[in-house]
Chain A
């Protein structure tokens, strides 16, 4: 096994995404390395979320490949895709917790589906997972009774229920106050360092980009692809592209 941080585990090759006749992404290629915190940046409407949906197999690309852990998910059959998905965790922007279930039931759902563990053990694991996101004791609360930050963390606990190799975050900081967002940063960092999970984020939250991202790619509407890649601090300091510069320095175009 290659040392952490160098071995590519997600490879996107020549990805072209279209909705009907409209091309959103044209020939996008990049790779994500094992255990890193990787971010996909860009302004509104640049295709970040579309790219994420292709990476988790919710959409099939018009052309190109997405290889996760050596498996090309764009050509995989349903069974293979199902197996790959069980290794992925996704935290959706609107947390996507099931409103009719308690937190414990939400987290237990993937465990009950993918494992044959008895209910007592599942309860133990659920308690541990909720503890990981600092929600110990909230097993029997309903999502509607929690604050936005707590719901995000509960969604994260559910995404991590099966110890995924990869965690995908779609705008995890959207709608959080700065303090809660900073707390989420700390939590995500400790989970990443503790579990070694590869994390991919789609975001435009500058503070969190600088505090968490190890490598980023930046997409832009005009080129329908990547205009910059590298560490965010370097891009802010040395990029000559005004589009990149304006993004990182929060300036109007």
Chain B
């Protein structure tokens, strides 16, 4: 009655509507043609409303599991419609394949629904609970870290100084070029932009004050901290996170090491040492940037610019700048290590933690800086 040609298989259907339908399949019943094959097969019971269906596959040269699935689906469909179905001419080899496919499994629903869809209240609650747990975890980590640092202070020989040196190089020396470059450009930009305004009042000389005060009091520590968070905070989180995933942290625990003291303390100590130094470099390079603009664009001599810089800076500002840097260093390295220890699951967990380490570090830096700004305002008076 109907003969159709496709790239892989040939199908002929014979019989009259309401009576027996006999279908012949030949050629390749494979994944590529699954879509038309299943559509054509499914249409037959509907179109012909037969009392019986016989499907002859003796002409099939190649049958893969997708083709076998189509045959079994047809059988299941006929079963549900109450039409007797017969499969004829199955070769020995294809029989083995058909036997492999579990008919029952095709009908069974998944053990778990596709996605646990939850309403907004449940989501909110879940989120809040997770946030709460996160705060608890951070607090307990802070406790552990402080205890470990105090222990190391009392027993300096237990600190792995080799590791500290390694991370000082990683976070400090290796980070210097980018810190220097960004600070230099920052100094240049600040000096250039402010000079456009100050020129109008003949206050060229105060460019030096502006650059110095802005950099030493605020921007130096913050810029350095953000760069270190991006370079090293993320690296700490990824390193510890990968160790957690590979059971290396568990190995440390079973060998009797305290993971916080063993892994986090060297990183935190290294950061506390190098971030203030990097901050000093950042200040100096920004002043250098200002100096370049001052000498080339504002007709100042290098000597005057330096004198003005020296006059504008106070030891108090410089000292608080370094204190800020130490606090930022603790926050960055602490949160980096904490996020690392928090990793669960595999590669994806490491990625999430690394991102979270940087975001949380930057957030904490800004919060701490605000606190410093208010505190120092009253101290200065």
In this complex, the interface size class of chain A, counting residues with CB under 8 Å from chain B, is: 20 to 34
Q: Which residue of B lies closest to A103 (CB)?
A: B110
The residue that B100 contacts in the complex, of A104, A125, A127, A132, with Cβ under 8 A, is: A132
Which of A173-181, A191-199, A202-210 contacts its partner? A191-199
The residue that B66 contacts in the complex, of A125, A138, A190, A193, with Cβ under 8 A, is: A125
Tell me whether A186 is interfacial, beta carbon within 8 Å: no
Tell me whether B22 is interfacial, beta carbon within 8 Å: no
Q: A138-B111, A139-B110 in contact; A115/B32 too (CB < 8 A)?
A: yes
Q: Which residue of B lies closest to A130 (CB)?
A: B105
The 7 sampled A-B contact pairs (Cβ below 8 Å) are: A118-B35, A125-B65, A137-B109, A138-B110, A138-B111, A140-B111, A144-B345
The residue that B30 contacts in the complex, of A117, A121, A163, with Cβ under 8 A, is: A163
Q: Are A128 and B106 in contact (CB under 8 A)?
A: yes
Residues of B within 8 A of A (CB): 30-32, 34-35, 38, 64-66, 69, 73, 93, 96-97, 99-102, 104-106, 108-115, 345-348
Q: Are B35 and A121 in contact (CB under 8 A)?
A: yes
Q: Are B64 and A163 in contact (CB under 8 A)?
A: yes
Tell me whether A59 is interfacial, beta carbon within 8 Å: no
Q: A117-B34, A131-B106 in contact; A195/B69 too (CB < 8 A)?
A: no
Q: Are A128 and B345 in contact (CB under 8 A)?
A: no
Which residues between 122 and 142 of chain A lie within 8 Å of chain B, taking CB atoms?
124-125, 127-132, 136-141
Q: Residues of A contacting B111 with CB < 8 Å?
A: 137-138, 140-141
Give bound CA distance, A104 to B110, whole Å: 10
Q: Are B348 and A195 in contact (CB under 8 A)?
A: no
Q: Residues of B contacting A240 with CB < 8 Å?
A: none
Kindly list 9 other residue pairs between chains A and B, CB separation below 8 angstroms, not including A132-B102, A140-B111, A144-B346: A116-B35, A117-B31, A125-B34, A127-B106, A131-B102, A140-B114, A194-B96, A194-B99, A194-B100
Q: Residues of A contacting B99 with CB < 8 Å?
A: 194
Give bound CA distance, A70 to B366, whole Å: 64
Q: Residues of A contacting B97 with CB < 8 Å?
A: 194-196
Q: Are A163 and B65 in contact (CB under 8 A)?
A: yes
Q: Which residue of A lies closest to B348 (CB)?
A: A100
Tell me whether A162 is interfacial, beta carbon within 8 Å: yes
Say how far B71's CB is from chain A's closest CB, in angstroms.
Answer: 12
Q: Residues of B contacting A140 with CB < 8 Å?
A: 110-115
Q: Residues of B contacting A118 with CB < 8 Å?
A: 35
Which residue of A121, A132, A196 has the most chain B CB atoms within 10 A of its CB atom? Answer: A121
Q: Are A195 and B65 in contact (CB under 8 A)?
A: yes
Give bound CA distance, A190 to B97, whole Å: 9
The residue that B31 contacts in the complex, of A115, A141, A194, with Cβ under 8 A, is: A115
Q: Which residue of A lies closest to B96 (CB)?
A: A194
Residues of A within 8 A of B (CB): 99-100, 104, 115-118, 121, 124-125, 127-132, 136-141, 144, 160, 162-163, 190-191, 193-196
The residue that A137 contacts in the complex, of B34, B64, B108, with Cβ under 8 A, is: B108
Q: Residues of B contacting A141 with CB < 8 Å?
A: 111-112
Q: Are A121 and B38 in contact (CB under 8 A)?
A: yes
Q: Which residue of B lies closest to A141 (CB)?
A: B112
Q: A124-B106, A129-B65 in contact; A191/B100 too (CB < 8 A)?
A: yes
Main secondary structure of the interface of B (DSSP, over half): helix
Give bound CA distance, A139 to B345, whole Å: 19
Q: A99-B345, A117-B35, A131-B106 in contact; A125/B69 too (CB < 8 A)?
A: yes
The residue that B101 contacts in the complex, of A132, A144, A163, with Cβ under 8 A, is: A132
Say how far B107's CB is from chain A's closest CB, in angstroms.
Answer: 9
Q: Residues of A contacting B106 with CB < 8 Å?
A: 124, 127-128, 131
Q: Are A162 and B31 in contact (CB under 8 A)?
A: yes
Give bound CA distance, A36 to B34, whole Å: 27
Q: Are A128 and B31 in contact (CB under 8 A)?
A: no
Give bound CA distance, A104 to B112, whole Å: 12
Q: Residues of B contacting A195 with CB < 8 Å?
A: 64-65, 96-97, 100
Give bound CA distance, A220 to B102, whole Å: 42
Q: Residues of A contacting B102 with CB < 8 Å?
A: 131-132, 136
Q: Which residue of A lies closest to B112 (CB)?
A: A140
Q: Residues of B contacting A190 with CB < 8 Å?
A: 100
Give bound CA distance, A144 to B69, whole Å: 29
The residue that A121 contacts in the complex, of B34, B93, B101, B348, with Cβ under 8 A, is: B34
Q: Residues of B contacting A127 with CB < 8 Å?
A: 105-106
Give bound CA distance, A194 to B347, whole Å: 36
Give bound CA distance, A114 to B123, whole Å: 36
Q: Which residue of B lies closest to A116 (CB)?
A: B35
Say how far B103's CB is from chain A's closest CB, in angstroms.
Answer: 9
Q: A144-B346, A163-B66 in contact; A128/B101 too (CB < 8 A)?
A: yes
Q: A118-B35, A121-B34 in contact; A99/B346 too (CB < 8 A)?
A: yes
The residue that B105 contacts in the complex, of A100, A115, A131, with Cβ under 8 A, is: A131
Q: Which residue of A lies closest to B115 (CB)?
A: A140
Say how far A185's CB is from chain B's closest CB, in angstroms.
Answer: 16
Say how far B11's CB is from chain A's closest CB, in angstroms.
Answer: 18
Give bound CA distance, A137 to B111, whole Å: 5
Q: Are B93 and A128 in contact (CB under 8 A)?
A: no
Give bound CA distance, A124 to B97, whole Å: 17
Give bound CA distance, A132 to B102, whole Å: 7
Q: Which residue of A lies closest to B64 (CB)?
A: A163
Q: Which residue of A lies closest to B32 (CB)?
A: A115
Q: Residues of A contacting B109 with CB < 8 Å?
A: 137
Give bound CA distance, A128 to B34, whole Å: 14
Q: Residues of A contacting B105 with CB < 8 Å?
A: 127-128, 130-131, 136-137
Q: Residues of A contacting B348 with CB < 8 Å?
A: 99-100
Q: Residues of B contacting A162 with CB < 8 Å?
A: 31
